[in-house]
Structure 1
Amino acid sequence: MSYEKGQLDVEWTPIEQEAARATKVLHPTETLPVPAQRRVVAVANQKGGVGKTTSTVNIAAALALRGLKVLVIDLDPQGNASTALGVDHHSNTPSVYEVLLGEISIADAAAVSTQSDNLVCIPATIDLAGSEIELVSMAARETRLKEALSTEALDHLQADYVFIDCPPSLGLLTVNALVAAQEVLIPIQCEYYALEGLGQLLNNIELVKAHLNPSLRVSTILLTMYDGRTKLADQVTSEVRGHFGDLVLRTVIPRSVKVSEAPGYGQTVLAYDPGSRGAMSYLDAAREMAVRGANGETG
């Protein structure tokens, strides 16, 4: 990268390039389009370690930094999304657990993230770990989250996007997310066994669609942990694109130490290292999702 300064053609160093990218992320000049209608997206994959929570919080943060109102619902008892968004989730904190039990509204549990004033999170506490057992005996157990996410409740929070971070399982919490959502985003890592178990998830989505939520659809596939040094990553990418076609985002998330480190500091990678390749990739993925949503291209 170079620019003319007087009569000289000055080359930018890698550090200067990264600083310029960071400035672009933290002080954006662009705004992303508001979706044609509010998008409620369940981020699901019962396979652990595929970048599900990481993708949820970073795409949400990228959309929020570009002017959109975003709500993240942490439905994973581990509470990693809450941690990454800088939201308190110790025991006795108003959380999604009380929302599912019908004790409080989503407005009562919502907390503004440290990443952006446009980003709100409903945290998960350790109490959520036993909720699946408690929900079994409740009436309308599969629709508890859907009832909480009423149009009026989401209008109150002025949410353009709602992301539901599902646990790495196909239990009752994930079913609640699928019933409440309109769309499913599936992160798939570019590694061996990437598609293992995916058939079961797709079958469950079809079951929920047939019996509980006819409007549900898989709208987005996101390839994560891409390592361009390996042939395997390219093979997996080609296989996924060949199978899912236009559902796969053009943007691919690279394997990145910075992306892995960020949650340990209670941050998204966009806050932790905004000039990194990982941050720029999630920003590109969010932009692609926003443009698709504005154009009505959501599955």
Structure 2
Amino acid sequence: MKPKCLAVTSHKGGSHKTTICVNAAAGLGMRGLRVLIIDTDGQKNSSIHAALPDDENPDVTLSTLLSNNKDDAKLKDLTRLAIKETHWENVSIICSDDSIGNVADKLQLTSHMAFSELGKSLNHVASRIDDPVNGFDAIIIDCAPDRRILTTGAIAYATHTLIPILSGSLYGYDGFLDMLNHITSLRKETNPQLVNLGILISGWDGNLLAHKKLLGLVTDRYQDINNVDLVKLFNGRIPRSTKMEQASMLSRSIFEVAEPSSSIYMAYDNFVDQLCVDMGLAVHDKLTHEGV
């Protein structure tokens, strides 16, 4: 059975997409779930944040796997080499690299062929890791901030999607609408079982007018299309916090740098709990991380 797969995607950079991916993975790992992050972004932010220092620039990356998707025996061996440990228990990663864009361009012969090729590649990768030794409970795909072939393929492969919006960013709102339309189209055409978990607002400050205005725009949009069950406003919002920058600088999760009683820790903790419910993930014993 294919693991539950969450594609975190936005058509606007700076939406805290990578931050959400790595902290969601760390939080799921704390709950005893085995998680694989797949970094499809050429900026390599998830790879830099999550991978151990010796593995930040590995010899075998997602580019390698996509370039060898037609050789099943070779792909099986390469996939095992591509899966790297991270800073967090139960969490692994397949890193991206600078050549990922060129690899994607080669796959993109036509939109239909490109989807088929990438979908087949991701299925091959998933089938190689879904076994008693290397099986994962969940895959989290950190998508590039675009609608190109890797992002399209990730959405077409995923079981769930999530769209983050940076609070107060009207450009982010426009990007949300564009990505929502893309997800809706893919669900109708190629992935009818896809569940869009909705919108997660990050960097929230309820005292700022711009943040309140954006929330109103998103809420209005949610109400307009709620009847067709395409999107919802995710329960809770991720607040602004300097702890997020600290976690990124230290290559740690928010659960390691923030106090459990802090608003940012509790917001992410509640977010991960909701992910488990919405994605149907069975939680095991919950671990804790010591602060840095």
Question: With structure 1 as the length reference, what TM-score do the two structures score?
Answer: 0.77
What residue in structure 2 maps to residue 114 of structure 1? 87
Residue 128 of structure 1 pairs with residue 100 of structure 2 = yes
Supply the distance in 1 between the matched residues of 2:86 and 2:152 (Cα, whole angstroms).
26
What residue in structure 2 maps to residue 231 of structure 1? 209
Supply the distance in 2 between the matched residues of 1:215 and 1:189 (Cα, whole angstroms).
27
**Change beyond 3 A, Cα 1:231–1:198:** same
**Change beyond 3 A, Cα 1:96–1:288:** same
SS of alignment partner, residue 248 of structure 1: coil
**Mapped contact 2:50–2:86 kept (Cα < 8 A):** yes
Per-residue CA deviations over 1:170-191 (Å, capped at 9, x if unaligned) read: 1111012112101111111221
For structure 1, which segment, 265-274 or 182-191, has the greater mean C-alpha deviation from structure 2 after superposition?
A: 265-274
What residue in structure 2 maps to residue 148 of structure 1? 124
Residue 262 of structure 1 pairs with residue 247 of structure 2 = yes
Match of residue 194, structure 2, among 216, 219, 229 = 216
- CA shift at 1:242, angstroms? 4.2
Aligned length in residues: 260
Residue 168 of structure 1 pairs with residue 145 of structure 2 = yes
Per-residue CA deviations over 1:72-94 (Å, capped at 9, x if unaligned) read: 11111111111211345554521
List gaps (5 residues or longer) in structure 2: 283-292
**Mapped contact 1:90–1:125 kept (Cα < 8 A):** no
- CA shift at 1:249, angstroms? 2.2
Supply the distance in 1 between the matched residues of 2:265 and 2:235 (Cα, whole angstroms).
16
After TM superposition, where is structure 1 displaced by more than 6 Å over at least 4 residues in a row? Answer: none
- CA shift at 1:269, angstroms? 2.2
Supply the distance in 1 between the matched residues of 2:188 and 2:214 (Cα, whole angstroms).
30
**Mapped contact 1:115–1:271 kept (Cα < 8 A):** no
RMSD (CA atoms): 2.6
Supply the distance in 1 between the matched residues of 2:267 and 2:169 (Cα, whole angstroms).
22
List gaps (5 residues or longer) in structure 1: 1-36
Supply the distance in 1 between the matched residues of 2:203 and 2:277 (Cα, whole angstroms).
23
What residue in structure 2 maps to residue 287 of structure 1? 273
SS of alignment partner, residue 170 of structure 1: coil
- CA shift at 1:142, angstroms? 3.6
- CA shift at 1:66, angstroms? 1.6
SS of alignment partner, residue 169 of structure 2: coil
**Mapped contact 1:91–1:127 kept (Cα < 8 A):** no
Per-residue CA deviations over 1:90-141 (Å, capped at 9, x if unaligned) read: 545211111111263433311121122x111111122223222222248733
**Change beyond 3 A, Cα 1:228–1:206:** closer
- CA shift at 1:58, angstroms? 0.4
Question: Which AA in structure 1 matches 2:256?
Answer: A
SS of alignment partner, residue 102 of structure 2: helix
Supply the distance in 2 between the matched residues of 1:292 and 1:91 (Cα, whole angstroms).
34
Equivalent positions of 1:186-205 (< 5 A) are: 186-193=163-170, 194-205=172-183
For structure 1, which segment, 283-292 or 46-55, has the greater mean C-alpha deviation from structure 2 after superposition?
A: 283-292
Question: With structure 2 as the length reference, what TM-score do the two structures score?
Answer: 0.79
**Mapped contact 2:197–2:234 kept (Cα < 8 A):** no
Supply the distance in 2 between the matched residues of 1:272 and 1:100 (Cα, whole angstroms).
35
Question: Which AA in structure 1 matches 2:34?
Answer: K
Identity, % of aligned positions: 26
Question: Which AA in structure 2 matches 1:148?
Answer: H
Supply the distance in 1 between the matched residues of 2:47 and 2:194 (Cα, whole angstroms).
25
Supply the distance in 1 between the matched residues of 2:57 and 2:238 (Cα, whole angstroms).
33
Per-residue CA deviations over 1:44-65 (Å, capped at 9, x if unaligned) read: 0010101101001101101111
What residue in structure 1 maps to residue 289 of structure 2? none
SS of alignment partner, residue 196 of structure 1: helix
